[in-house]
Amino acid sequence: MTSPLVRIQREDFSLQDEIDALSTGRADIGAIVSFTGLCRDEAGTLAALELEHYPGMAEAEIARVGAEAAARWPLMGLVAIHRYGLVKPGEQIVLVLAASAHRRPAFEAADFMMDYLKTRAPFWKREHRADGTLGGWVEAKADDDDAAKRWEQAP
């Protein structure tokens, strides 16, 4: 596999466009698993999420996670796109695509990418509340650390 495609961008992305870019003109891919993370409205209390990131390190760290996935599973393509700036409820935040000859490596690699992207990629979310006030910084969840630790056991 060529190196993972990593993009950090303010603008939205299109799942179909990314799948097309990955698969057009080739017939060896048997499975593409996609994960799309969306902004929730938290029962109507959230106006937007503000995503801060560390330019340079965000790209580098996601690329390192992608390289680990590519070393671990027989992948034919790997894409990770993460937005920054203001994202409103219902809008997309993150996309991961993993392509392989068969479904199992594609599912597992996409799952691995998201678990590590949440705990290692330098992004921070802050809430903008529907009542116009600025909420706090979202706290990291122990669940996410536990999810990432699953992959530390021998495959």
Least CB distance from residue 47 to other proteins, whole Å? 18
CA–CA separation, 91 and 129 (whole Å): 16
- What DSSP state is assigned to residue 79? E
Closer of 29 and 63 to other proteins (Cβ): 63
Smallest separation, CB 119 to other proteins (Å): 6
- Residue 98: count of CB within 10 angstroms of its CB: 31
> Which amino acid, residue 53?
H
Q: Identify the helix (H) or strand (E) that includes residue 100.
A: strand 92-100
| Closer residue to other proteins, CB minimum distance, 131 or 139 | 139
By CB under 8 A, name the binding residues for other proteins.
37, 51-54, 56-57, 60-61, 82, 93-94, 114, 117-126, 137-140, 144
Nearer to other proteins, 29 or 68 (CB): 68
